[in-house]
Amino acid sequence: MAGYTAISLDEDDVTESTPLTPRGRYQHASSWLSHKLLLGFLGGCCLVMASAHWLAPLTMMSTVSSLHKSSEQGHPVQKFIKRNDTNEDDLFCGIAGQESGYIKLPHKEDDHYFYWFFESRRNSHTDPLILWLTGGPGCSSLMALLHENGPCVVDKDLKTQLNPLSWNNIANMLWLDQPTGVGFSYGAPGDFDENEDQVGENI
């Protein structure tokens, strides 16, 4: 009976005495083929999107590598200001003006938000301050700092290289892990937030 289908306009009208009509092999094969083509098309779209996502960091790495090579060959490369009396161990990707730590929220029992601040490479005294909050909620802002818009990218040898597209080229940047329990931010169980309004009160 697999090759037959009942004809009815309403499911309530189908009974054991409802006549069956033959369903042609061509119609069945055509339906099967269209489903397979649709699945193949959707799978191909997913692969294209995934490859674009994973290849984007490689493009950035090649840009950084070409900047590194041009500096070795004597071509002019943008120089960043280094503070006086700063030794190389105090620098992170050529930036001395950076700080990380915790902010204890005053209206909570024991809530600590983790932050990482970088001064602008251009002029930290006059450039604006940008607060970066990765969305979700539930994703650490360090994901953006270390992979998207932070001062460095990590190359294949796990060494840091300057990110030519970093937002701190023209602004002071503060990356903040929020809400409590995300990334390095922590707090007492009663401090966890339940909605965006509560998160907004913390910031």
- Beta bridge mates, 161: 153
How confident is the model over 41-53, as pLDDT tens digits? 666 665 666 555 5
Tokens standing for residue 131: 């607060």
The first and second tokens of residue 15, run together, are 């009974």
Neighbours of 17 (CB within 10 A): 5
Helix (H, G, I), strand (E, B) or coil at 83: coil
Q: How much of the chain exceeds pLDDT 70, in percent?
A: 54
Q: Which residue has the higher pLDDT, 70 or 101?
A: 101
State which of 10-14, 31-35, 132-136, 195-199 shows the largest mean pLDDT. Answer: 132-136
Given a cut of 90, is residue 18 above it in pLDDT? Answer: no
Start-to-end CA distance of the chain, whole Å, equals 66
pLDDT, position 119: 93
Distance CA 98, CA 91 (A): 8
As a whole number of angstroms, the distance between CA 153 and CA 68 comes to 13
Structural domain spans, the chain: 1-75, 88-202
Domain 88-202 falls under CATH 1.10.10.10? no
Q: Given a cut of 80, is residue 192 above it in pLDDT? A: yes
The structure tokens listed for 128 are 């604006």
Distance (Å, whole) CA 184 – CA 104: 13
pLDDT at 55 over 60: no
Q: What value does the mean pLDDT take over residues 68-97?
A: 51
Q: What is residue 150's predicted lDDT score, i.e. its pLDDT?
A: 93
Residue-wise pLDDT for 131-185, tens only, equals 999 987 789 999 899 888 999 877 788 888 888 899 999 999 999 999 999 999 9
Q: Quick check: helix, strand or coil at residue 41? A: helix
Higher pLDDT, 170 or 75: 170
| Contacts of residue 99, Cβ cutoff 8 Å, sequence gap at least 6 | 116, 117
